[in-house]
Structure 1
């Protein structure tokens, strides 16, 4: 029974990813549909704006930017909150209030927003350099040379140091709410100095 359930979950995830890509491709090919999706999302992002900002630029240091994020990653995150693979009280509730189409529209909407420079104090140059070297050796394969992400891998460039530090520490500590993430294995390679350096480096990367 366990294998059957696992197979069913994998098939569902594959079907959802396929449907998402088909919907996003349709939006890219049809300007009218893009405008409709964008307009529809503007009404629903009010649900997200108090924490993530209406334009996807987070209003709180411990909450991530969604602006400029990869739509596939955003949609995948939505689905993981809907089915409980990722646990966060606010996000689990919010995601379940949205229809599939609304989740697609919101993912597209935030992907089109511009990431704004943060007003954080400039990190130590030596720390940034160490972070750049560590990023190139451990993170760039998945997140891209400029940390902009691609496909299902998130953009992490320009996130706040507070958020990045907390996120990496949760993975290092094997937080149950992140069970199954490939980041658990990656974070196991990092020590606290690596976390500080990576957070400093990534936070100062601008579009």
Structure 2
């Protein structure tokens, strides 16, 4: 008598979407953002194309879900540590060193996310997801800055929103520069020069 066929594993909708998003990350990291499609994700996950179509409906919906998950996950990692209760420049410098260390730890994944975000910004169907990612990053930085203000009890010389925007712009620029160059010889100097400029934001 023949052995019975192996039983298929059936996942609920949330677990299936997580499985497929994991497969999408693998496609993106190993083959590049341009290779991302419902079919390539299905092949990577070892499921039929219709399974991915049922879970996400379209490539735009897949990319939106992927961007939301990956940006949220990586943003929380990049900005996980609170700003130290030090003078502002020193506190932000320490945070940016941690930020670069996280970029270094998963460089390709961050490069692909940056590429995916750039693609989303140029697409009418995906622009909302790209804006949501930007707002999520800004929100994390704002949370850290407000906690730092509370811990220091100091007074800023500019509105909190201005400082948040400056730190956000610096972090985005630092990430783009380091991912493009991998220049570890100068990263400390870049962070030090930026941090020195922040001293003007803190009233003596």
Query: Could you state the TM-score of these two structures normalised by the residue count of structure 1?
Result: 0.28
Q: More helix per residue: 1 or 2?
A: 2
Query: Could you state the TM-score of these two structures normalised by the residue count of structure 2?
Result: 0.29
